[in-house]
Amino acid sequence: MGQSKAMAGVYIACAAAACAAAAVVLTQRVKVRSQKYTARKILVEFQEACETPLPRLRQVVDAMAVEMHAGLVSEGGSKLKMLPTFIDHLPDGNEKGLYYAVDLGGTNFRVLRTQLGGLEGRVIKQEYEEVAIPPELMLGTSEQLFDFIAKELVSFVAREGEDFRLHEGQSREIGFTFSFPCKQTAVNSGTLLQWTKGFKVNDAIGQDVVAALQGSIERRGYKMRIAALVNDTVGTLAGGRYWNNDVMIAVILGTGTNACYVERAESISKWGGELPKSGQMVINMEWGNFWSSHLPRTYVDELLDNESLNPGEYGFEKMISGMYLGDCVRRVLVRMAQQAGIFGPHVPHKLLEAFTLQTPDMSKMHHDDSSDLKMVAEVLKTVYGIHNTTLGIRKIVLAVCDIVCQRGARLAAAGIVGILKKIGRDGSTANGFIRRNDVNGIHDELTVNSIGGSGKTVVAMDGGLYEHYSKFRNYMQQAVRELLGDAAKNVFIELSKDGSGIGAAILAASHAEYVPT
């Protein structure tokens, strides 16, 4: 009898334990379901806020064209700076001779030489070297920085091989790609407005950067003339135009973003000088600073902007460029971790740190097509030390990447089509006018300065975001086709890899003092 009671007690204890275990499992399942529900709710709300349907994109297109027009009329008339570059004629393939380029755009700079052979030879040969700038020079004096660049350039020139030769009567001329904010005063003159990208050479601000580098070169006893000062976007346009006369626009989509294009000189109302004989001028838009109420701004964008080094500025860039896309994803994941606990009871400390999720890592996750999303799990583990995520959570992370990427790509597409609309290449012009709505809903018309040619328009693209993030590239191209409709058959987007360096050298050729025949 006692034994039976003991056995019954064991059974009851086991049953109670089983019930308790089942309750724990059930509680855990309910908790997981609750987490997923909250996370999906956050996801859906973010997705809806980021939507870029065709009507909205068309509004962004119109806003871009209108802001371009306003920026050409007067200084400060638009968020777009619309800077005349003094480049009034672009390469046409006839350029000949030996030319150099210096490309300074970050912590490294490049020196390049190219031998041009005219229409038949084109680029006969080119060589370049990349040089790291010592960190102390990024915080030093102007003379120290430009003397270092000149030293490396002169060393590069001294190793000029027999395959490179000057034509009789020709001296060495340089195209200088300087990708920092400048106020350009001539084709080969520009005053530095401010440093970015970690540089703080304070005595260079307000200086003519061409004169600074020219002086450093001359102090080393070399006779070389800087023939053209350009930024990387203008260099990309020139490099593209050298090979294809239909290139009218250049766009950089990399860590940062910018665009430039060929404009009719008579459309630049704020231009105070004599109109160039060519009737055209390249305009540097500084389109990263574009803004419109039609852009789909979310809490993520507000947080990112408020915590940035330039709040209230470069809102377009913060939505579409490689510097910021990964951080947009991170901020959504932070909200999910805080409100839904998708990564456990505690938010990983590193997840709270800005810019810890780089866009290349976002791209790796976004391109994960494995059944169990191994790469998503790997990136979360490597970057944030997050282990043992469920497949459901990994799918949510993947969806966030897709939303941020798609929004950025489609807005970039709208920007491109806005430029096409301004120059009359989007198929929507009639009798030389485009119609738009202003903020009060009043219809008016803006003149379109369509520049003649084959009817085909090529957009030269450069930048790692466009080149390496294939889903971004595909989304962008798809949106361009949607916006243009039948006119898309006349618009081509082509990668112009590393075009800024060779473009600067070719611009030196087209603005050279001596032109070989």
Residues classed as catalytic? 110, 179, 232
Question: Could you say which DSSP state residue 432 is in?
Answer: T
- Please check whether residue 199 is in contact with residue 180, taking contact to mean a CB–CB distance below 8 angstroms: yes
Structure tokens of 100? 């150099």
Q: How far apart are CA 489 and CA 162, in angstroms?
A: 45
Q: How far apart are CA 354 and CA 341, in angstroms?
A: 19
Residues across the chain? 517
Q: What is the largest CA-CA distance in the chain?
A: 120
Q: Is the dihedral of CA 401, 405, 408, 414 positive or negative?
A: negative
Amino acid residing at 33: R
In sequence order, the β-bridge partners of residue 284 are 83, 260
| Closest among 510, 474, 425, 495 to 65, alpha carbons compared | 425
Beta-carbon count within 10 A of 236 CB: 33
Structure tokens of 207? 């200086």
| Closest among 424, 501, 11, 463 to 228, alpha carbons compared | 501
- Please check whether residue 491 is in contact with residue 418, taking contact to mean a CB–CB distance below 8 angstroms: no
Q: Please give the backbone phi and psi of residue 430, each rounded to the nearest 5 degrees, phi first.
A: -145, 120
Structure tokens of 449? 């300065």
**Element at 459 (helix H, strand E):** strand 457-462
| Closest among 469, 205, 194 to 314, alpha carbons compared | 194
Contacts (Cβ under 8 Å, ≥6 apart) of 402: 366, 471
Q: How far apart are CA 310 and CA 196, in angstroms?
A: 11
- Please check whether residue 192 is in contact with residue 207, taking contact to mean a CB–CB distance below 8 angstroms: yes
